Amino acid sequence: MKRILIVDDDPIIRNLLEQILEPFEEKNVEILTAENGLVALDIIREKQPELIFLDVMMPKMNGFEVCQKIKSEPPEKIPYIVILTAKGQEADREKAKASGADFYITKPFNINDLLNKVSEILQIKLD
Amino acid sequence: MSKLFKKTLLLIIILFMIIAFTIAISTGWNLYNDLLQEYKSKGTAIAKSVASSSIETLLNRDASTIQAMIDRFLEISGVSYIFVVDANGDIISHTFIPTIPDEISKIKNDKPRDTYVKEIVFEGLGTFIDITSPILEGIAGYVHVGMDKNNIMAQMKSAMIRQLILISLIFIFSITIAYILVNKVSQPLNALTDYAKKLTLHDFSSPVDIKSDDEIGLLANTMKSMATDLHEVFDRYEQAINDAIVELQNTLAYLTAVIDNMADGLLVTDTDGVITHVNPALSYMFNMRESDFIGRNCRSIFGDNFAEVVEKSRMNADQIFTTEIELAHKRIGKAVATGIHKETIQSDDKGIGAVILIRDITSEKEVDRMKTDFISTVSHELRTPLTSVRGFTEIIKKRLEEDIFPNVTNDNKRVLKSISRIRDNINIILSESERLTALINDVLDISKLEAGRIDWKLENVRPADAIEQAIIATSALFEQKKLLLIKDIEENLPEIICDKDRIIQVIINLLSNAVKFTDTGSVTCKAKKLDNSILVSVSDTGIGISETEKDHVFEKFRQAGDTLTDKPTGTGLGLSICKQIIEHYGGKIWVESELGKGSTFYFTLPLKNINDVSNINKMEYNYTEKE
Ligand SMILES: Nc1ncnc2c1ncn2[C@@H]1O[C@H](COP(=O)(O)OP(=O)(O)OP(=O)(O)O)[C@@H](O)[C@H]1O
Ligand SMILES: [Mg+2]
């Protein structure tokens, strides 16, 4: 069973992503959510998700820090990390790369683009 | 007495003395000779007369007669002695008192045949001229007459002295007269000399009292009028100089006051980077005393980086260099350095120093930082809800299309109408949220450009590639409006050094505008090389822009047409962003258009733009990169 983890402090965005990714639940993918970096790290250790959507601006621990933490203490299954940011500054793209993220999407995003990206990463075709 | 007169007088006295002595000596000599001659002839005459009258008496041996005779002759002046000897040399009679001197014995036996003159010296008595005359050719004896030579000498001496005294008196007399005369001539000259001396000391008021109408009087008058003229000229110059000094002092005081009251710190260095001037603001900024700066090299106080900037500014006229510098109390300053160059700028001019203005930018930096934070926050705060709106709308649309609408019974007209409305409305929400996203992106771009917060990448860009990518990005728009795109790109265009994404952004903006404002016809994109730049143009066959609007389309939020009646087609930021990007690279952007026929937008990019990007931009670029 494949797992996707959504990390965002904003419950609405979590909700939105959950609903967008709903089609994958039918393909036997579990959608997990975390409202901050610390919870996210716990879930990553326990559930070993394949794909992580990581918001940048979060209290306690920002997305880049979470990303660095994952890369410095890698879990058994190395997840694919997509940084989600509303900042849209070029410097953020560089920071995302530097912290070890695999992909970078700015908010607001196009749903179809997002779905295509996920099926590419998880190797699951939607009909 | 004048110096000249003194000198001449000395010379005259010397000459006079020589002449006086010569005359005295020659007179003395002549007198001596004359007297000598006179004495000799006198003595000879006496001797001869004694001899002639003594023959008989001698033969008679009448000594007393002879004695009486010679005693008589002795009274004649100059005669000192007379004695008579017989043929055997025995003295018969003589006039010696009290005794016959010893020296007589030497001469008493002389036996000349004729009268004979000879000098003889008596010890203790002086020199005498002895004249011997034979009596009867010596048979009867001889007569000796002694003439006193000392007498001659005494007479000579006194004559000489008299002459000297006389000449001296005449000399003194004539000198006195000469002195009086010379003085009379030189007195006005002296007065004139004194006057001239005073003139050289700028004493123009002293009087000169020469009234004679000879050359000296003329000279005096000329000098007087010259003095008045000089006095005037001097007065005028003095006044002018005083005025100038006062003006200079005022200007200096004013400038000093300006410099001292400046809020910015001011630093002046010489050719070696040694500090020559600071103002109080600068001392305050660095919490140091003025004396701590003056005479020290700025490198030792402000470090190498600062010194380099100062040196560069000195070497490059017309260029300004900036750097940041740490101030006291953890504050930050921005230093702007300019070279000091003389008016006559030569190509190899190195500058005579540098002026550095330092401004405390601590609060500006703080504001800057806050602005950046604000931009990110606003961006975040706007985009997050926008993400939800757009995302949920898309989900709703999907769910409606996939799950709801297919299951609604189609026979109810009202329901069908409702479905069609819902579809339209949802599409409107979607396109509006897209517009909002574009707006936020543009606003962000503009504020970043204005805050200098853009990271300008420097890469080699092939113009053809950039245009191609922009065309791909806008191809969907062309398809939608069924417009034709014509490309006319010169081959082998040289590469330009700039940020490729930014150039693509410019071309996309121009292409999307062309499509937006054109309904039928075509859009043409051209690119060619000019002398030192690349020229890109995008022309369309659309609505065109009126002459009055043409000047304003590059302004922010500016759209041609009436925004109240015409439906706005964008945010009016696109061209403003293009302009800022192109100008950053030292290029130009402009538009040519005819209302109703179409518009052409042009922009140029200089080929060596990496060198031309102004220094200030470079510094700021560096500075943003550091963050
Ligand atoms: N090719 C064109 N033909 C006619 N008018 C034009 C053309 N390009 C620009 N304009 C005029 O210039 C105005 C400013 O253009 P600009 O690109 O700055 O804003 P915009 O296109 O309205 O909005 P956006 O910020 O979305 O680009 C436009 O509103 C339009 O009136
Ligand atoms: Mg536009």
Give per-residue pLDDT as tens, B189-218.
788 888 888 888 888 777 777 777 788 788
Average pLDDT, integer, range B148-162: 87
Give the C-alpha separation, A36 to A38, whole Å.
6
Residue B567 has pLDDT above 90, yes or no: no
Mutate to test the pocket of ligand 1, among B559, B569, B601 (most ligand atoms within 8 A of CB): B559
- Interatomic CA distance for residues B441 and A96, integer angstroms: 20
Among B267, B411, B410, B433, residue whose Cα is nearest residue B337: B267
Nearest CA distance, B581 vs chain A (angstrom) = 16
Residue B54 has pLDDT above 80, yes or no: no
pLDDT recorded at residue B346:
55
With an 8 Å Cβ cutoff, are A109 and B387 in contact? Answer: yes
**CA count, 13 A, side-chain hemisphere, B85:** 22
In which band, very low, low, confident or very high, does the pLDDT at B536 lie, cut at 50, 70 and 90? very high
Within 10 A of B354 (CB to CB), how many other CB atoms are there? 24
Contact B398 A111 (CB under 8 A): yes
Q: CA B23, B24, B30 angle in degrees (round to 5)?
A: 90
- Cβ separation of B391 and A91 shorter than 8 Å? no
- Helix, strand, or coil (residue B456): coil
Residue B345: per-residue pLDDT: 52
The answer, for A16 touching chain B at a CB cutoff of 8 Å, is yes
Instruction: Among the bound ligands, name the one nearest to the CA of residue B517.
Output: 1
Cis status, amide bond into B463, omega within 30 of 0: no
Which has more pLDDT, A58 or B210?
Answer: A58
pLDDT of B156: 87
Q: Check pLDDT > 60 for residue B616.
A: no
- For residue B514, the ligand 1 atom closest to its alpha carbon is 1
User: What pLDDT was estimated at residue B367?
Assistant: 84
Most confident stretch, B190-199, B535-544, B558-567:
B535-544
**For residues A47 and B126, which has the higher predicted lDDT (pLDDT)?**
A47
Share of chain A above pLDDT 70, in %: 96
pLDDT above 50 (res B315): yes
Of B186, B106, B194, B192, whose CA–CA distance to B144 is shortest?
B106
Q: What is the pLDDT of residues B237-251, one digit of tens each?
A: 999 999 999 999 999
**Pair of tokens at residue B16:** 């006079």
Ligand nearest to the CA of B557: 1
Q: Looking at the predicted structure, is the pLDDT value of residue B588 above 50? A: yes
At A127 the pLDDT is: 73
Q: How far apart are CA B401 and CA B420, in angstroms?
A: 11
- Tokens encoding A76: 């058994």
What is the pLDDT at residue B119? Answer: 85
Quick one: B62 exposed, middle or buried, by C-beta within 10 A (0-12, 13-18, 19+)? middle
Write out pLDDT tens, residues B60-76: 777 788 888 888 888 88
Q: Tokens representing B14?
A: 């010397």
Sign of the Cα torsion B481, B516, B469, B466 reads: positive
> Residue B387 is nearest to which of A19, A91, A108, comparing CB atoms?
A108
Domains of chain A: 2-118 (3.40.50.2300)
Q: Are A15 and A46 in contact (CB under 8 A)?
A: no
Write the residue with the smallest CA distance to atom 4 of ligand 1: B544
pLDDT in tens, B156-200: 889 889 988 988 898 889 888 988 887 777 777 788 888 888 888
Quick check: B528 and B522 in contact, CB under 8 A? no
Q: Does residue B571's CB lie within 6 angstroms of at least one atom of ligand 1? A: yes
Residue nearest atom 20 in ligand 1 by C-alpha distance: B572
- Given this model, what pLDDT does residue A91 score? 65
**Residues with beta carbon < 5 A to ion ligand 2?**
B 513, 570, 574
Q: Model ipTM?
A: 0.77
